[in-house]
Amino acid sequence: MSLATATRVNVWQPFQGGPTGFSMVLQDSGSFSSITAGTQAAMASQWIFEPSTNTPSLWSVGGFTFNLTSCTIATQNVNFLDVAGVGTITSTNSSFDPTPGTWSFTSSNASGQNQTTLSFQAHSAAAPEQSTVELLAIGAVGALGWHYSFRRKLVCGR
């Protein structure tokens, strides 16, 4: 099948001899730093990106799961496919709150060769902690109070 007409991934091919339906972690950082390079990530049995399809458990690794809610094709032609998606990352770790995340998938077929390469990456969008939200709210109320106090002094001539 040509990348120009692709609409789905039917089977995730193994990386360097691994089992079908799995991918491999190559790099870690941030919340995912506990997952060492070389760890196998389980992939959804099928992923339909055109039309965009909600895909629960698109990938799971190290207690984390990414639930894809939507995706968009950024580039698609005979030699290159780039799809970006958004969803929610959840964890079996109770101290990790469900977090919005992004996911991107690329596949290239250089010079029309039969050997296609693909890669993907995931990122979490950090949500502010509850204490940060509370401090921002207190600051906003304080600024609003100062504004009305200053305005009252101008109107009353004090």
- Spans of all domains in the chain: 3-127, 128-158
- pLDDT at 14 exceeding the cut of 90: no
Residue 139: the pLDDT is 46
Residue 5: the pLDDT is 92
**Cα–Cα distance between 48 and 71 in angstroms, integer?**
9
Amino acid type, 136 = L
pLDDT above 70 coverage of the chain, percent: 63
Question: At 16, phi and psi to the nearest 5?
Answer: 50, 50
Question: Per-residue pLDDT tens for 78-134?
Answer: 888 889 889 999 999 888 889 888 888 888 876 655 555 556 667 666 544 444 445
Residue 113: the pLDDT is 59
Tell me if 147 sits within 8 A of 155, measured CB to CB. Answer: no
Contacts of 105 (CB under 8 A, 6+ apart): 49, 81, 82, 83, 84, 85, 118, 119, 120
Contacts of 123 (CB under 8 A, 6+ apart): 101, 102, 103
- Averaged pLDDT score across all residues of the chain: 75
